[in-house]
Every structure is written in C-alpha cells, then in structure tokens.
Amino acid sequence: MPPSTAAKMAAITSFKLRRGAIDEKSNHAQTMKFSVLLLLTLGFNACPEGKDHNERALSAPIKGPLRLSRNPNYFEDASGTPLILCGSQTWNTLQDWGSNGAVRPLDFDAFVRFLKAHGHNFTLLWCTELPRFRSLPTTESSPPDFTVSPFPWMRTGPGLATDGGLKFNLTKFDQAYFDRLRARVQAMNSAGIYVGVYLFSGEFLLRFRCSTDGYPFTGANNVNGVDDGYRGGSVESAVASVTMTAPNAITKFQDAYVKKTIDTLNDLPNVLWIVSEEAPPKSTWWNDHLISFVRAYEKRKSFQHPIGYAALDSAADSIIYNSDADWVAPAARVSPARSCGTGKPSCKVNINDSDHSYFGMWNDTLLTNRNYAWENFTTGNQVLFMDPYLVYYPRQNRNLCAAPVNGIGSKPDPRWDNFRNNLGYILRYSRKLNLANVAPSSTLCSTHYCLAQTPSVGAEYLAYAPSGGSFTMDLSAMPESRKLAVEWFNPASGETISQNSITAGSSSRSFSAPFTGDAVLYLVDAEGHK
C-alpha cells in the first residue's frame, strides 16, 4: 500500500526543514525542488512500504556504540542493524584556526546543521598538534602561517614557547579543551551523527613544522624537560615524537593525554577513535602501541568504541590492513571489496577518506568526483570528504568560501554542494538495502559496480554506471515467476525515476539510463528484499 497523503506531507515538511531552514546555502527554489523530488520518491518507492531496512530519523540520538557486524564491510548499531558512515569533515571543528596570529572561532552549531542539511551521519574532530604551523598550500606562493587554539595542556610558564605563548605544563590538562571536546561530541550525538575523534595527526609534524611552532613536546616549549630534539627545518627530529620504537618520556605524556580523552568521552555512544593520519612511515610502532593502549584502557570501561588507523604517508595500505585497528582509511582511490590482513580483527571496515585517497579532487569535474564516491560505495566501502568548509583555499580554486578573514570564511563554497549531497544520497540508498546480506560484485553488472544479495526470493541490486548509458545485469538469481521493482536515481540532479516492474530470471538484462551522465539503478524483489 502506498504511503498516505498525510504521511507524504509530513515527510515533505521534515525534508523542507532539513533542506531549507537548516541549510545555509539553500533558497526557496531549492526547497521546492527537493520537496517535489521527495514526493516522487514517496509516491513511487521501489521498495514496498515497511520493507526499507535501517530507516530512522536522521536527527535521532544514538543509543549505543558501533560494533563490528557479521558483514565485515560494515559496522552495526546498538540494535544490531548494519549501517554505513558517510559525511564531510574539516580541519578546524575542534580547535580554532586563523592566520595573522588571530584565530577565528567556528560556529559549531552551524557546522552540525550543515551536516544534517546534506544528510550526513559521520565526521571527524581533528587534533592539530602545532600551535603555529607553516606551508599549508592554500595559496600558490607564500601561504600564511596559521595559529591554533586551544590545546590539551595548560600554558602556565614560566617562560615563553617558540610561538610566543607561555610554555606548556604537560602535567596539567586544560579542562576547557576537554569540556569543548565533550560538548561538541554530545552535540553531534543529539543530531544522530557519529564522530571520529583524532587522538593525534602525525601529518602536521611531517609537513608543517617550523622553528616557531610551539610544539608541546619540543624542549623549548614545555616546563617538564621533555624534548623531541627539534630545532628547525625538515629533519628526523621533527617527527621524533611519533617514530620511537619503544616507550619513552614522550609516550608517557601521550598515554596520559589519551587516558584523559577516553575518560572525557567513553560514556558517549557516537564515538570512534582514530590514532593518526598520514603519519610518517616509521610511525608503525607508535600507531600500534596506541591502538593496543586504547583497547586495553577502554576494556575496563562502560563502552568500547571502534579504533581507526588512517594511511601512513607514502606507505603501502597493507600496513593498516595488517594492524589491529577496527576500521581503516586507506590511500587507494577506490578501496578493495574486502579490507583484510593479518591483524585482529582480520577484516576492517573501510571508510575511504578523500583526504588520503583523492588529493587534488578539486581539479576534476563534478562527474569524476561523484564517480569516486559511488564506486567506493558499490564496492562495499564508505566515504569521507575532506571538506575545506570555511578554510579559505584559493590555490587552484579549491575553496573560494565567502568573505574570508584571517584565512577563515563566513559561508561554504557551493562548488562542493553536489558532492556533499551525494554522500547523503548514498546514505539514503544504504538504508534501502539490507546491509547484513549485500556484498559487492564486479560480475553482476557490466559496469562492475554493484551491491547485491541474490537469494531466489527477495533479491536486490544497487548498480552504478559511472558514465550512464546502456549496460547489462545478471538477474538470474530469481526465477522468471518473480518481478523486480525498478528505480533510477540521477546523482547530478537528485532526481528519482520509477519505472514499471520487470521480470527476473535473465542472465543479461539490458538497461538504459533515462537521463545523461552517471546513473544509479536500484532493483528489488517487488515483494520486498530478504
């Protein structure tokens, strides 16, 4: 039975609120457009009412931490329902950034609304290790230095650090930093959004150090006698605080900070940990140590959260697959259908982050950008977008956000809206699928991009055609006596088109997208999937 008119109007009203009143970039015309499209989807839903799997209000608070599901490609929530994670993440959502020595506070509530408006359910909170960093290539030449605040430790002195602020006392935590961290994770939880919390970065030490960076683990910047040996330049000592091969004076303070972070957030259900990103290749002992340390410390606490490991700089992805992390963010543009190695668990949930896998995506077309997201999804993976958001990045027109002051803009660049929206579209289609049973297949569709489950009753297929046009699908899993509902989706416009049901049973059924450009095709047993 189709949804009632009242149900349609209630859903349209809710969708208008998310797309209109909340979206900083929407206008009346956009709101009306999306309302009409949603009406089409509700009126011609390819999956019968009550059969959609994992549908829930996007703003519902999260009930419990994620855990590994029986399908190794996905986590499951506290109810045992598998789900995917997709969304935008940006650098300055925990610590404030700014050039010219002046940080610009971020409107965090606006960022939460931004994620909800695009239908996202995952983001990251970064930890930028350097109070001042240099050479982020935001401009073609002479990029500005950025100042960062706050930090986990109090700046008590005596004496000044190399960035001009008081020296850090590594035995005294700045409670205001941890209060901010907790409040922001709580805000995300209330919005139904999961948060990957970076414990460290690693990349900033590798790429952006300078002699006046004020790094807390350099001797000139703390009152505790802890020293990584760095004095300036691109030298091994720049990364010495993450490339040790055994516990030392630095790991003692790092471990204490990690404990404090876990104590601050452990009772919150929407947390995922991530140790580092693009850290030096020689940081494997350090990363492995922290994964083990977090797991052991959380074991005695109320919640155990998934632990992540992002690609190392210029290193093989096999390193993170062979680790003991629960989830990974590799360097490969399109992640494999299974992300397995020698660690425990052997197979990881793969969240492909464009930060590591698709640097330079701003030089590609919107179509090529969408290809990246949908190809990863239909290969069994999830997608994070390194969204520049409000960080002004005019080099190669990466991010021309409005009215920048000290390197931070006032509104996001709409150039990225189609890609942002497509991450929300991917989440929408993931909720139609039974993720407990689907698996990626390179043979069921001639485009090689398909998620499917193929029982003799209750089959479903989600295929992606990167260039659209015509392609074939193997629908022989179900007999000819069964019908498949047909739904097309246009990633360029957000339009959904339903067509008459078709007969199952063919091993090479031809399809032609009813629009130009890339296309998504969703087929499901007309009586519902398994």
Same domain membership, residue 132 and residue 22: no
Give residue for tokens 């003991």.
Answer: 324
The residue type of 331 is A
Q: Which of 371, 398, 432 marks a domain boundary?
A: 432
Question: In whole angstroms, what is the distance from residue 266 CA to residue 259 CA?
Answer: 10
Torsions phi, psi of 194, nearest 5? -80, 150
Same domain membership, residue 464 and residue 528: yes
Q: What is the mean pLDDT of each run of 10 residues along the chain (530 residues)?
A: 34 34 36 33 34 49 96 98 98 98 98 99 98 96 97 99 99 99 99 99 97 98 98 93 98 99 99 98 99 99 98 98 99 98 98 98 99 99 99 98 97 98 99 98 99 98 99 98 98 98 98 99 95
Name the 3-class secondary structure at 272.
Answer: strand
Same domain membership, residue 97 and residue 28: no
Q: Using alpha carbons, list the distances in angstroms from residue 376 to 372, 448, 465.
A: 6, 12, 13
Same domain membership, residue 236 and residue 91: yes
Bridge partner residues of 490 (DSSP)? 495
Assigned domain for 171 exists = yes
Assigned domain for 202 exists = yes
Same domain membership, residue 101 and residue 174: yes
Residue 515: predicted pLDDT: 99
Residue 24: predicted pLDDT: 35
The CATH code of the domain that includes 465 is 2.60.40.1180
Number of domains in the chain: 3
Assigned domain for 62 exists = no
Same domain membership, residue 101 and residue 37: no
* Paired tokens of 47: 């999956």
Within 10 angstroms of residue 231's Cβ, the number of other Cβ atoms is: 14
Give Cα 487 distance to the centre of its chain: 27
Question: In whole angstroms, what is the distance from residue 181 CA to residue 131 CA?
Answer: 17
First-residue to last-residue Cα distance in the chain? 19
Assigned domain for 218 exists = yes
Residue 58: predicted pLDDT: 56
Where b means 16+ CB within 10 Å and e means fewer, 155-170 reads beeeeebbbebbbbbb
Same domain membership, residue 301 and residue 443: no
Q: Which of 432, 456, 491 marks a domain boundary?
A: 432
Picking from 443, 441, 475, the residue whose alpha carbon sits closest to that of residue 459 is: 475
Same domain membership, residue 391 and residue 300: yes
Handedness of CA 262, 63, 275, 436 (dihedral sign): positive
Question: In whole angstroms, what is the distance from residue 286 CA to residue 199 CA?
Answer: 12
Assigned domain for 325 exists = no
Quote the domain boundaries for residue 405: 87-280+291-306+385-432
Same domain membership, residue 427 and residue 441: no
Assigned domain for 315 exists = no
Residue 74: predicted pLDDT: 99
Same domain membership, residue 413 and residue 466: no
Residue 37: predicted pLDDT: 34
Assigned domain for 338 exists = no
The residue type of 196 is G
Residue 51: predicted pLDDT: 39
Bridge partner residues of 352 (DSSP)? 383
Same domain membership, residue 528 and residue 394: no
Assigned domain for 515 exists = yes
Structure pTM?
Answer: 0.89
Same domain membership, residue 488 and residue 409: no
